[in-house]
Amino acid sequence: MDSIIITGATSGIGFECALQMARMAKNEQIIIAARNMNAGQEVREKIKAQTGHKDLKCLELDLASLASIRKFSESFAKEKNNSISILINNAGVQNIGETQYTADGFEQTFGVNHLGAFALTMQLLPFMKNDGHITFTSSETHDPALKTPIEPPMYTSVQELAFPKETSEKTNTVGQRRYSTSKLCNIMTTYELQEQLKSTNIRVNAYDPGLTPGTGLARTYTPVMRFLWKNVFPILTLLKSNIHTPAQAGRNLAKLAYSEKHKNLKGIYFSDGKVVKTSIDSYNKVFQKDLWKGSLELTKTKFNKKI
């Protein structure tokens, strides 16, 4: 029996993705990677009750800690079913308040959204099936040309993103830019990892859930914005394209990873139900190589495609 691993599955898009996956992948073990084990076990029981899936498991994982990521991969290695068919890197944070740091001293947004997902993927690669699928949840905010309400990204270097200098800019502006930049990094990682794995049949894709009101990303917003995010913005899902409920976005993510319809997609960005081009910077080979090399160094991981 193969395993499907989903991060960020205790709420929002990740939960809906795990729920949909449990309905589709009846013969595979589904592992809910959770920072809060109580929340993880509650979600496990909820999904089991709704789907009847017999092989649901929760393992502890904090993407803000390299030690926790190592512990997770070591625990998984001891699993009876330690062959991975699908890895969904969905967990993410958005902090528009004062700068926060991970357990290893990295700026939190870059540390969790990029470095944490990167380290986890590198450590789980030896367990990936040769025809497995890796997905990174990104965002349309990565592309300045789309003129989203979020501050556009600015890729500088891995070191500068992980250890930013103090700035006099508004925390809101800085926080938004860090988020969009981390989403750009998810896409550049997708392209570079697919290139590194070109001798295998592993698929690596990036997924844009679109604007998804009601998820936990707004937890650092102002009270007024949190109210709008939860109670008013969901109405937009009926009026505009690429705005989805968490349930819709979660189902789309699960289908991209699992369905036969998308099994030939490799090294692409999937948005609003179709393959689309990404930003100019996302194709910058210098940026991609710098990100790859610097991320390996900071996370103290190695690329091992033992498949």
- What pLDDT digit, counting tens, does each position of 107-152 carry? 999 999 999 999 999 999 999 999 999 999 999 999 999 988 899 9
- What pLDDT digit, counting tens, does each position of 262-290 carry? 999 999 999 988 999 999 999 999 999 99
Residues 6+ apart with CB under 8 A from 154: 177, 181
Question: In terms of Cα–Cα distance, which of 12, 63, 17, 10 is closest to 38?
Answer: 10
CA angle 39, 22, 72 (to 5 degrees): 50
Asked whether residue 282 is assigned to any structural domain, the reply reads yes
Give me the number of domains the chain comprises: 1
Asked whether residue 215 is assigned to any structural domain, the reply reads no
Asked whether residue 214 is assigned to any structural domain, the reply reads no
| Cα→Cα distances 162→17, 31, 107, 140, Å | 29, 29, 5, 22
Q: Assign residue 74 the CATH number of its domain.
A: 3.40.50.720
Question: In terms of Cα–Cα distance, which of 14, 136, 122 is closest to 66?
Answer: 122
Asked whether residue 232 is assigned to any structural domain, the reply reads no
Asked whether residue 255 is assigned to any structural domain, the reply reads yes
Asked whether residue 188 is assigned to any structural domain, the reply reads yes
Q: Could you tell me the pTM of the whole model? A: 0.90
Asked whether residue 220 is assigned to any structural domain, the reply reads no
- What pLDDT digit, counting tens, does each position of 158-211 carry? 999 999 999 989 999 999 999 999 999 999 999 999 999 999 999 999 999 977
